[in-house]
């Protein structure tokens, strides 16, 4: 919560990353961190956020 204040964004970011890690195949399905002990997908996603390996882009809609 220190890096991503909005809990909804945090949940969505972790959920999407877990999905990427779980699907297998391709560069995005590999963990971006190294760990001495095996981590589950959710723990890996959270650790990637903590270590600033992944982030989100806040997209704002423009009013015409």
* pLDDT score for 17: 92
pLDDT of 60 strictly over 70: no
* pLDDT score for 26: 75
CA–CA separation, 23 vs 4, rounded Å? 25
CA–CA separation, 30 vs 48, rounded Å? 11
Q: Residue with structure tokens 């704002």?
A: 60
The 10s digit of each residue's pLDDT in 5-49 is: 889 999 999 999 999 999 876 777 899 999 999 999 999 999 999
């Amino acid at each position: 919560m220190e890096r991503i204040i909005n809990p909804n964004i945090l949940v969505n970011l972790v959920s999407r990353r877990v999905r990427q890690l779980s699907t297998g195949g391709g560069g995005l399905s590999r963990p971006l961190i190294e760990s001495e002990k095996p981590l589950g997908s959710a723990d890996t996603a959270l650790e990637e956020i903590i270590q600033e390996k992944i982030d989100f882009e806040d997209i704002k809609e423009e009013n015409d």
